[in-house]
Amino acid sequence: MKEIDNIDNTEGLEKRERVDTINLEYLKVKDYEELKEIMIAVYPNITDPYWKKKDIQKLISIFPEGQVVVKVNGEIAGCALSIIVDYDKFTDTHTYMQITGDETFSTHTPKGNVLYGIEIFISQQYRGMRIGRRLYDYRKELCENLNLERIVFGGRLPNYHQHADKLSPKAYIEKVRSREINDPVLDFQLSNDFHVKRIITNYLEGDKQSKDYAALLEWDNIYYQKPAKKPNAIKTVVRLGLVQWQMRTYKNFEELIEQAEYFIDTISGYRSDFALFPEFFNAPLMAAYNHLSEPDAIRELAKYTERIRDRFSELSVSYNINIITGSMPYIEDGTLYNVGFLCKRDGTIEKFYKLHVTPDEAKAWGMSGGEVLKTFNTDCGKIGILICYDVEFPELGRLLADEGMDILFVPFLTDTQNGYSRIRHCAQARAIENECYVAIAGSVGNIPKVHNMDMQFAQSMVLTPCDFQFPTNGVKAEATPNAEMILVADVDLDLLKELNQFGSVHNLIDRRKDLFQLKWKKK
């Protein structure tokens, strides 16, 4: 047999009775006689159109989960039969008889990597009820639950004989895809997220309607995890802890670290994976240098940066949490930069730079922008970090997204609500256009004894894309404005994979790369 040329895009050929119940069930041997009658009716032009009872018994015996029926008012309306194969043992030019072991199903193996569809058909009486979609949705769930790479089957082209004198199989499929030709079968497959990998010749012997051609159709399981030879600790649900830091006067360095450790301790107590601190959270230490000029004071503050980095690294290990230190002034080869550190819980440390310094940072402090942009691999997926003003430049987020970023962290410092709104709205845009999560954390309050740091406004939050998998307003969680607190929120990385493939729109996939491109120029 084969994947049916009659799914259910057409209307029912007979008037249906009222539907009281519709259920998807495992196929049972006792259903055989009813199944046989339906197959005879479905395949009127095929010799020997039905499976033998022993074949159905064999399928149910070796793989009961793969054999299902949809029953309407207790009657079989549709059926799907499947096996699991080790697809590496076959080529993409296989025939139906090869993949099914000459219809003995000897090719089935629970250790295989592909769910292979060998049959699906809908009773004529129940077409137009989307029975086929129910069956394919079940197959997709089965593929995900069994952690198989994909669903594969050879789809007949039953209307191709009407166009074979003018079109090649490839051209025929392209015209179906562009809706120039109506093919209810292929239209159905494409609308259910299957894609044509190639065209197979001589797939089903004697298939005159398809001219012996078939489309090799696939559906990729985006949740597939390749079996690891060693333990894989990468998480899919990640807990974020954001510190909305209160600016206050500290007597010394140790008192500031004590306050930071308090937040880290609290956030790790909720078993968070990340702690995010704001930009320049350590600015209160400049109070001791307020008698100096602003450029000199910020350079005195830079002398604490490496000490803070090292202490945070110790805390990340002892509290088992990845810490994003916010950002701090840092002198490198005589040049003043705004940098931060990712202190991983395995003890390693990585550095990130602010690339776009604000006019005030350049004018008041003589600060320069960095020249390094990269993503960071963590035990919770790949992340990106942009400091404050950098998030207002969409190119940076897109470059990080192209490297596979799942979560973008934005430590920021803004003095007015206007400045905060720029950060917040640009961060929301980065979440939507790059199909990622964005976490922003800022400082609140004021430190009157520090020049150029008079007051701060912040509302820390976790932002998401705007689609059905996420909150309608794209806000996963938000802190109280201008109040010292922590914000803890979970983000599910699998939802990003789902969005990328099945979202209402595809901001990454749909880019017209044939018209434009974005490239990092600095080597």
Which residues are tagged catalytic?
279, 354, 388
Task: For residue 301, give every residue at least 6 positions away whose Cβ sits within 8 Å of its Cβ, in sequence order, or none.
Answer: 282, 283, 285, 286, 289, 328, 329
Residue at token pair 């010394």: 252
Residue at token pair 């562009």: 178
Residue 137 tokens read as 């949705």
- Look up residue 62 and give its amino acid: I
The answer to whether 69 and 27 have CB atoms below 8 angstroms apart is yes
Residue at token pair 């079968």: 185
Burial 87-126 (b: 16+ CB within 10 A, else e): beebeeebbbeebbeeeebebbeeebbbbbbbbbbbbbbb
What 3-state class would DSSP assign to 485?
Answer: strand
DSSP 8-class letter at 3:
B
The answer to whether 139 and 80 have CB atoms below 8 angstroms apart is yes
Chain-centre distance for alpha carbon 521: 28
CA distance 56 to 165: 39
Element holding 264 (H helix, E strand):
helix 253-269
Residue at token pair 């009658």: 37
Per-position DSSP letters for 123-171, written without gaps between them:
-GGGTTS-HHHHHHHHHHHHHHHTT-SEEEEEEE-TTGGGTTTT--HHH
Q: Write out 298-350 in H/E/C secondary structure.
A: HHHHHCCHHHHHHHHHHHHHHCCCEEECCEEEEEECCEEEEEEEEECCCCCEE
Per-position DSSP letters for 404-434, written without gaps between them:
T--EEEEE---SSHHHHHHHHHHHHHHHHHH
CA distance 371 to 362: 16
